[in-house]
């Protein structure tokens, strides 16, 4: 017998434009089918995904590194399952390998949501990574200091781990208007231990109310919200953002390669 959600979907959507509002009315957001079918609502939702099945598309991604010893740009590896990329900042202290999508296609008023899987390979006690949204690349990361946040980048929202400070996986956001401060950081409460040779699922979501949320392996890490005065703490709502990934060395010994399985962004097609 056909599942009720599937039957409703086939009967009520046949020959009609698929929108998120119609899907929500018929199935409801609490039904797991809603999550599965939501990305098909291309009339109202934009979906970007790169599974890295083949040579990295340089019309989509800009990659570089700071020329540390044995550094390598993020690149496709045919030997890895499901299509993966790997980048390495090398063996010198404070060097990086970074990647930014060429298309800075998203604004926070589109409620963008980024999903990815990344895997540290060695020396996690001597490394830093950032993944999230950013307006432009930044040497040695968007965040200069994590503990009491200072920025290198101007507009960004990243999940970050930096052993120069601690071993926690946190989130930091900054914009060109707000002043970067402790209010721009949320300490992770997801209970996840960063583990070598293990893929970790990370998700970041932003919205038009200047709120940013992040999850690690399905557990909510925390949220940043506008201040009581109404000032946002994250990227400005009129700034175009791209997908950002960086791996950074925090010691002068050993390589620190980082692997990424895929990048996916879902967002509203219109500004809210």
| Architecture label for domain 47-268 | Sandwich (2.60)
| pLDDT, tens digit (0-9, with 9 covering 90-100), for 137-186 | 998 899 999 999 999 999 999 999 998 899 899 999 999 777 788 889 99
Mean pLDDT by 10 residues, the chain (272 residues): 55 61 78 75 83 94 90 90 90 92 92 94 82 94 93 95 91 85 89 86 94 94 74 84 94 82 93 83
**How many other C-beta atoms are found inside a 10 Å radius of the C-beta of residue 78?**
9
- Of 49, 60, 147, nearest to 100 by C-alpha is 60
Give the integer Cα–Cα distance in Å for 190 and 170.
9
Q: Tell me, what's the pLDDT at 229?
A: 47
Domain boundaries, the chain: 4-38, 47-268
């Amino acid at each position: 017998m056909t599942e009720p959600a599937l039957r409703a979907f086939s009967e009520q959507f046949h020959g009609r434009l698929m929108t998120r509002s119609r899907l929500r009315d018929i199935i409801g957001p609490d039904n797991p089918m809603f999550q599965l079918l939501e990305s098909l609502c291309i009339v109202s939702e934009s979906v970007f995904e790169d599974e890295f099945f083949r040579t990295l598309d340089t019309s989509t991604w800009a990659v570089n590194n700071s020329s540390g010893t044995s550094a390598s740009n993020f690149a496709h590896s045919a030997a890895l399952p499901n299509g993966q990329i790997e980048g390495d900042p090398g063996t010198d202290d404070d060097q990086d390998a970074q990647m930014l999508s060429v298309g800075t296609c998203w604004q926070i008023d589109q409620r963008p949501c980024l999903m990815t899987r990344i895997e540290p390979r060695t020396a996690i006690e001597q490394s830093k990574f950032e993944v999230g949204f950013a307006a432009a690349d930044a040497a040695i990361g968007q965040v200069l200091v994590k503990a009491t946040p200072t920025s290198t980048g101007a507009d960004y929202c990243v999940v970050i781990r930096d052993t120069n400070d601690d071993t926690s996986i946190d989130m930091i956001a900054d914009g060109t208007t707000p002043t970067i401060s402790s209010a721009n950081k949320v300490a992770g409460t997801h209970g996840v231990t960063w583990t070598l040779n293990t893929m970790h699922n990370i998700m970041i979501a932003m919205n038009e109310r200047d709120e940013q949320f992040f999850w690690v392996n399905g557990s909510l890490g925390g949220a940043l919200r506008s201040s009581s005065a109404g000032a946002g703490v994250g990227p400005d709502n009129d700034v175009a953002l791209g997908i950002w990934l960086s791996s950074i060395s925090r010691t002068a010994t050993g390589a620190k390669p980082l692997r990424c399985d895929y990048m996916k962004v879902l967002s509203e097609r219109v500004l809210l």
